A and B are shown apart, each in its own frame.
Chain A
Amino acid sequence: MKELKVQPIKDGTVIDHITAGSALKVLNILGISKNPTATVSILMNVKSEKEGKKDIVKIENRELNPKEVDKVALIASNATINIIRNYSVKQKHKVSLPDTIKGIVRCANPNCISNLKEPVEPAFRVVSKNPIKLRCYYCEREMEDVAGNII
Chain B
Amino acid sequence: MKQGFDGRDIISIKDLTKADIEHIINVSKEMLPIARGEKKSGLLNGKILATLFFEPSTRTRLSFESAMNRLGGNVVGFATSKATSAEKGETLADTIKMADAYSDVIVLRHPNEGAARLASGFSSKPVINAGDGAGQHPTQTLLDLFTVKTEKKRIKGNNIVLVGDLKYGRTVHSLTYALAMFNATLTFVAPETLQMPKEILSHLKEKGIEFRQSSSLENVIPDADVLYVTRIQKERFPDPEEYAKVAGTYRVDLGMLSKAKKDMIIMHPLPRVDEIAPEVDKTRHALYFKQAFNGVPVRMALLSLVLGTVK
**Least CB separation from B14: chain A residue:** A140
Tell me, yes or no, whether A52 is within 8 Å of chain B by CB.
no
**Residues on the A chain within 8 Å of B111, using CB:** 111
Contact B113 A119 (CB under 8 A): no
Complex contact B134–A138 (CB within 8 A) = no
A22 smallest CB distance to B (angstroms): 28
Q: How far is the CB of A110 from chain B (nearest CB, A)?
A: 10
Partner of B135, one of A120, A137, A139, A142: A139
Binds A, one of B37-45, B60-68, B115-123, B180-188: B115-123
Which residues of chain B come closer than 8 Å to A136, judged between CB atoms?
A: 114
Contact with B along A24-60 (1 / 0, CB 8 A): 0000000000000000000000000000000000000
Do A138 and B199 touch (CB < 8 A)?
Answer: no
Residues of A within 8 A of B114 (CB): 107, 112-114, 136-140
| CB of A2 within 8 Å of the partner chain | no
A118 part of interface (Cβ distance < 8 Å) = yes
B91 interfacial by beta-carbon distance below 8 Å: yes
On chain B, the residues within 8 Å of A120 by CB distance are 93, 118, 121
The answer to whether A141 has its CB under 8 Å from any CB of chain B is: yes
Q: B110 touching A140 by the CB < 8 A rule?
A: no
Report the separation of the CA atoms of residues A112 and B113 in the bound assembly, to the nearest whole angstrom.
Answer: 5
Residue among A118, A137, A141 with most chain B CB within 10 A: A118
With a cutoff of 8 Å between Cβ atoms, the chain B residues found around residue A119 in the complex are 91, 93
Task: Indicate if the CB atoms of B136 and A116 lie closer than 8 Å.
Answer: no
Write out, one digit per residue, whether chain A residues 107-151 have a CB within 8 A of any chain B CB (1) or not (0).
Answer: 101011110111110000000000000001111111000000000
Given A111-B133, A111-B134, A140-B135, residue A118 in contact with residue B93 (CB < 8 A): yes
State how many angstroms separate the Cβ of B114 from the closest Cβ of chain A. Answer: 3
Query: Is A117 a contact of B118 with CB atoms below 8 Å?
Result: no
Q: Are B112 and A112 in contact (CB under 8 A)?
A: yes
Size range of the chain A interface in the assembly: 10 to 19
In the complex, how many angstroms separate the beta carbon of B251 from the nearest chain A beta carbon? 31
B92 and A118 contacting across the interface, CB-CB below 8 Å: yes
Give the nearest-CB partner of A138 in chain B: B114
In the complex, which residues of chain A have a beta carbon less than 8 angstroms from the beta carbon of B121? 120
Question: Is chain A's interface secondary structure helix, strand, loop, or mixed overall?
Answer: loop
Interface residues of B in 189-224 (CB under 8 A from A): 199
Residue among A107, A114, A117, A139 with the most chain B CB within 10 A?
A139
How long is the Cα–Cα vector from A116 to B136 in the complex, in angstroms? 18
Q: B89 → chain A, closest Cβ, in Å?
A: 8
Q: What chain A residues lie within 8 Å of B134 (beta carbons)? A: 111
Does B12 count as interface, using CB distance less than 8 angstroms?
Answer: yes
CB neighbours of A118 from chain B (8 A): 91-93, 118
Cα of A23 to Cα of B14 in the assembled complex, Å? 38
Question: Would A141 and B113 count as touching, CB distance under 8 A?
Answer: yes
Q: Given A136-B114, A140-B114, is A113 in contact with B92 using a C-beta cutoff of 8 Å?
A: yes
Residue of A116, A137, A140, A142 near B112 (CB, 8 A) is A116
User: Are the C-beta atoms of A139 and B91 separated by less than 8 Å?
Assistant: no
A117 to B135, CA, bound (A): 19
Across-interface contacts of B112 in A (CB, < 8 A): 111-113, 116, 139
Q: Which residues of B contact A117 (CB under 8 A)?
A: 91
Residues B199 and A113 in contact, CB atoms below 8 Å apart: no
CB distance from B111 to the nearest CB of A (A): 8
Q: Which of A60-97 contact B (CB under 8 A)?
A: none
Residue of B nearest to A120 (CB): B118
1/0 per residue, CB under 8 A from A, across B134-147: the answer is 11100000000000
- Docked pose: A139 CA to B117 CA in angstroms: 8
- Please tell me if the beta carbons of A114 and B118 are within 8 angstroms of each other in the complex: yes
Tell whether, in the assembled complex, residue B93 and residue A142 are in contact, meaning their CB atoms are under 8 Å apart.
no
Chain B residues closer than 8 Å to A138, beta-carbon distance:
113-115, 117-118
7 sample A-B contacts, Cβ–Cβ < 8 Å, listed by A number: A111-B134, A112-B112, A116-B92, A137-B117, A138-B113, A138-B115, A139-B114
Give residues in A with beta carbon < 8 Å to B. Answer: 107, 109, 111-114, 116-120, 136-142
* Contacts A114-B118, A139-B132 supplied; 20 other A-B pairs, CB < 8 Å: A109-B113, A111-B111, A111-B112, A111-B113, A111-B133, A111-B134, A112-B112, A113-B112, A114-B114, A116-B91, A120-B93, A138-B113, A138-B115, A139-B112, A139-B113, A139-B133, A140-B12, A140-B114, A141-B113, A142-B199
